[in-house]
Structure 1
Amino acid sequence: MTVIDSIILGIVEGLTEYLPVSSTGHLIVTEYLLGLDNPANKAALDAFSVCIQGGAILAVLLLYFGRVKGMLEGFAGKNPAGLRLGCNLLLAFVPAVGIGLAFDDEIKEYLFGVWPVVWAWVVGGLVILLYVRWRNSTGQGNAGKGLDEMSYGQALLVGFMQCIAMWPGTSRSLMTMLGGMVAGLSVAAAVEFSFLLGLVTLGAATAYDAMKHGALMVETFGLWPLAMGSLMAFVSAMIAVKWMVGYLQKHSLSIFGWYRIAAGCVLAALVFTGMGQSHDAGDKTPGKVPAGKAAPVAPQAPASPLTVNAVPAPVPAMVPSPAPVAP
């Protein structure tokens, strides 16, 4: 991985982490197109993709510092509303802990590929369009309960919706936003709760992967790419979050639905036409796209007849050599 690669991955992470388009899906595709999807470095690359989330987490922490401060005061017994919000976030986080710890390795092994992302992008886009259409038909629009009115049951529903996003390409932001709106929150409250829940969920995932594969990641890629990727994720996440909050005050989620469908179709076309070949022909991991041709085999120089397989020539006195056979 070059520094340029890490900068590109950081920008992709920051721009897509909090938008309902799936940062994991975009990172998988970006790594695929950059030629970084080498199974030999899979564990280190997966850890890198998770750890640069730290920059995106810091961006939301600064943007919503007032909410975070209120929750800390709540846990200290000084802010009842902050305490309720903090408890709701922890409750919504619980389902992801259980399912994530139980199936983390299997998810990364079998679902971290291009085709699972294609399907998730397209299906997720259709879900957005259908939900927006249904919500508008009921006359709800962007209306709903505020964040301070959120119940524990609503928080738990959002938590279970978040677990669906463990399928790469689905989008944690999408599922938590939809979960909040389905639970009765306003669009603004659902978006804010999704961002705040990301602090807990993404923070835990980053810490877990750093402890599990951090040493391998640093040994494989070095600290400089990690630092640059995290920095770019921070800057781009600040821009993306501010833009999205302003955009959803006047518009629906429909644009993200159309984007997901278009991106999924384009990616599928690239793979079908061979423009996005897998960079490891021998990788048979389910979900990976086969390259369609065997990996080249390096030519070998002909071996000396005296040293074939490094076996010494037979001793004539003990084992007579057979007479040559005429062709």
Structure 2
Amino acid sequence: MDILLILKALILGVVEGATEFLPISSTGHLIIAGDLLDFLTKDKRDVFEIIIQLGAILAVIWEYRVKFIHVATNLNESKSRQLVINLFIAFLPLAILGLAFHHQIKDLLFNPKSVAIALIVGGFVILFIEKKLPAVKIHSVDDMDWKLALKVGFAQAIALIPGASRAGSTIIGGMCFGLSRTAATEFSFFLAVPVMFAATFYDLYKSRDLLSAHDLTLFLAGFITAFIAALIVIKVLIRYVANHDFTAFAWYRIVFGAIVLAYFWH
């Protein structure tokens, strides 16, 4: 196996894990990084990205394993049942719209220029919303009802646009609907589990002919680094949102998007 290829896989694994749960768009960063690194063919790169996304989502399951085990083993409790219902309801808008428009979105918007524009626009949206946030009404994911979950689900569907950010859409959307920063961030983590598992296994099934034992080392390198990077980000982000807003991420999106737009505008 080419050492340079493995190094590129490690870099992309870190990019995925570091950006998946931040409001800066992991898909956007992977599209840009993969293009700059000239990593694999497009079809192979798509499969690789599916694998490393699985590594990132397993980091959420590991970090919140006590919560997930409690919910799974105590569905007789109203709060556990409600959380499962909320996650299912919030999952539906993205799933339905994604299945309906997946190919059109991928053909039209999966390119560095579109991602850069979405990053910039999303940055300005975050800056605007941070100045207009309503009062906090819900401080814990356990206090959410299905109507609030559905609203967050529709906010998440905005992330079908590459560069918009699934984490950003759900966290900022949740805050707009009265969730505290911590509750919105945790719900975004939890909601990532069904969303990313569904997307991962659906895409893996479609791409099963591209899977090869020859690529195992490459995929494993990206998977492990994505898991580690995501685990670190999850721990840091929960501490960060307790005392900070998302203005820094907004400006990062704007500056990074502008640089990418300038680089690829030819």
TM-score normalised to the size of structure 2? 0.94
Gaps of at least 5 residues in structure 2 are none
| 2:24 match: secondary structure | coil
**1:260 CA drift (Å):** 0.3
In the aligned structure 2, how far is the partner of 1:152 from the partner of 1:29? 36
- Output the CA distance in 2 between the equivalents of 1:48 and 1:103: 22
User: Which secondary structure state, in structure 2, belongs to the residue aligned with residue 2 of structure 1?
Assistant: helix
Q: Which amino acid aligns with 2:232?
A: I
| 2:215 counterpart of 1:222 | yes
1:235 and 2:224 are equivalent in the alignment: no
Q: 1:49 to 1:123 in 2, by over 3 A?
A: same
CA contact (8 A) 1:73 1:83 kept: no
Q: Per the alignment, do residues 152 and 80 of structure 1 end up closer, same or farther by CA in structure 2, a change over 3 Å counting?
A: same
Kindly report the root-mean-square deviation, in angstroms, between the aligned alpha carbons of the 2 structures. 1.7
- Sequence identity percentage: 40
Measured in 1, the distance between the counterparts of 2:253 and 2:164 equals 10
Alignment-derived partner of residue 146 in structure 2? 152
What's the TM-score, normalizing by structure 1? 0.77
1:175 aligns with 2:169: yes
User: Which residue of the partner structure matches residue 92 of structure 1?
Assistant: 90
Summarize the alignment of residues 177-256 of structure 1 with structure 2, pairs less than 5 Å apart: 177-218=171-212, 222-256=215-249
Higher relative contact order (Cα pairs below 8 Å, separated by 6+ residues) = 2
How far has the Cα of 1:143 moved from its partner?
6.6
**Separation in 2 of the partners of 1:47 and 1:168?**
17
In the alignment, what sits opposite 1:31?
Answer: 34
Whichever residue aligns with residue 182 of structure 1, its letter is C
* Distance in 2 between residues matched to 1:112 and 1:249, nearest whole Å: 34
- Decide which structure has the larger Cα Rg and report it: 1
Question: CA contact under 8 A between 1:59 and 1:235: conserved in structure 2?
Answer: yes
Q: Which residue identity is paired with 2:55?
A: G
Work out the CA distance in 1 between the residues paired with 2:212 and 2:67. Answer: 34
The answer (yes or no) to whether the contact 1:89–1:197 under 8 Å persists in 2 is yes
Whether 2:250 is the aligned partner of 1:257: answer yes
Distance 1:2 1:215 in 2: 21
Letter in 1 for 2:49: S
Of residues 96-105 and 166-175 in structure 1, the stretch that sits farther from structure 2 once superposed is 96-105
C-alpha distance in 2 between matches for 1:63 and 1:134: 32
Q: Following the alignment from structure 2 to structure 1, what is the Cα–Cα distance between the partners of residues 16 and 137?
A: 30
Report the Cα distance in structure 2 between the residues aligned to 1:129 and 1:162, rounded to whole angstroms. Answer: 18
Q: Distance in 2 between matches of 1:198 and 1:253?
A: 19
> Structure 1, residues 212-260: CA drift from partner, whole Å, max 9, x if none?
11331437x7111111101000000011111111111111011100100
Q: 1:115 aligns with which of 113, 116, 140?
A: 113
Matched, 1:5 2:3: no
Give the whole-Å Cα distance in 2 for the aligned partners of 1:184 and 1:91: 18
Q: Structure 1 CA distance, aligned partners of 2:195 and 2:174?
A: 16
Whichever residue aligns with residue 106 of structure 2, its letter is K
Could you tell me how far apart the structure 2 residues matched to 1:267 and 1:143 are? Answer: 38
Contact 2:115 2:162 in 1 (8 A): yes
Indicate if the aligned counterparts of 1:74 and 1:81 stay in contact, CA closer than 8 A. Answer: no
Compute the displacement of 1:271 (Å).
2.2
Aligned equivalent of 1:51 = 51
Q: 1:148-202 CA distances to partner (integer Å, 9 max, x unpaired)?
A: 2111011011111111101111000000112211221111110000000001101
Structure 1 runs, 4 residues or longer, greater than 4 Å off = none
Supply the distance in 2 between the matched residues of 1:203 and 1:97 (Cα, whole angstroms): 12
1:145 to partner: Cα distance: 3.6
Residue identity opposite 2:12 in structure 1: L
Deviations 1:268-306 (A, max 9, x none): 22224xxxxxxxxxxxxxxxxxxx6xxxxxxxxxxxxxx
1:322 corresponds in structure 2 to none
Post-superposition offset of 1:71: 2.2
For 1:147, the aligned partner's letter is: V
User: What is the alpha-carbon distance in structure 2 between the residues aligned to residue 104 and residue 218 of structure 1?
Assistant: 25
